[in-house]
Structure 1
Amino acid sequence: MRFLNQFRAAPNLLTLMRLFIIPFLIIEILDGHYRTSFALFLLAGLSDALDGLLARALKQRTTLGQYLDPIADKLLLSTLFVVLTHVGLMPRYVTVLVFSRDLGILLIATLLFATGTLRDFRPSLIGKLNTLVQIVALLAVFCEKIFVSAHLTALRIGLVRTIAVLAPLSAAQYAWLVFQRMSQQAPAT
């Protein structure tokens, strides 16, 4: 599929929609409209689930989608952590850990891809768990603002602490896996 035609593929249109949602989600959070921001976050999550299903069902897996989807995911999550920290709903240290991890992985992947050193950037099990906990923590933050509850507060605090452990742990595992993959390729080249 030609590059410009890849933009017309249904899964990529959903991913582009997710990117388009981000500024509106930020505005709603900054304006304190948590019900709307919660709805937009759910819409972004639904588009993420649907783009993968559509790519498989319609056989529209594209090179653009392989890069655009994880970029959209990371941009959405990292941006939410930064904005929620700005409005006082997420501790700074957690946002720094999340953002540093994602930026580090992005820089390493870009460098290795650009140099042709490595092109295998599958997420690790701990990385997937970290992303899941981040998503649930963000949902908990929104729910806590909408449905005030001590249980939601306790859940959010526990999830935030879990992220503080998983983010650096998953970054270390990612670095280890990249090192191993590079070491396996070295004898072959």
Structure 2
Amino acid sequence: MSELDKSREEPTGGARLLIDFGPLLVFFLANFFAPVPGPIKIFYATGAFMIAMIAAMLFSQIRFGKISPMLWFSGLMVVVMGGITIWLHDETFIKIKPTLYYTLIAAILGFGLYTGRPLLKAVLGSTYPGLDEEGWKKLTRNWALFFVCMAILNEAVWRNTTTNFWVGFKLWGAIPLTFLFAIANVPMLIKHGMNLTDAKPAEPGPVE
């Protein structure tokens, strides 16, 4: 495969899972197995999360010749909020990171809809071939609302449960919810022209 072909290739299958969910799995495992007292584990896990996210970005660049805008944004959020968490020794910052991420993405998608530009089309156009303009508008609206709900849910979980529960929720709660929501959109996508033969089902970016 030439370098040009590689640069046009999209992550799929195991590579997509590794890029999108690998750092989150590392975060969960580091928090679970860190050989330190309970309250300190989150800081070790945060450091591991930052390293894993950077590694995922490097893998994407080396293997596929690019880093998606969503991965750039997610990686920046992890590094900045994770760095503040470790620097100030305050786990609040890593806990509110998903809230900020979901809120900002929802705001960007909402702004795109308001200005007549369903921005998901620019990010996921090759993922849903054949989808008409109305379908892109509905998909963008649906994901914007989903991200608002996820922001609210993250706030409810971290403010009312233990740190270990919140870390587990990110892996065992947020990921299944995202997959289920993506699947729930399929009938609407088919109705608006999505070509199932060439489609590459995907959610917009890494789960936070």
TM-score above 0.5, yes or no = no
What's the TM-score, normalizing by structure 2? 0.33
Structure possessing the higher relative contact order (Cα contacts under 8 Å, 6 or more residues apart): 2
Structure with the larger helix share = 1
What's the TM-score, normalizing by structure 1? 0.35
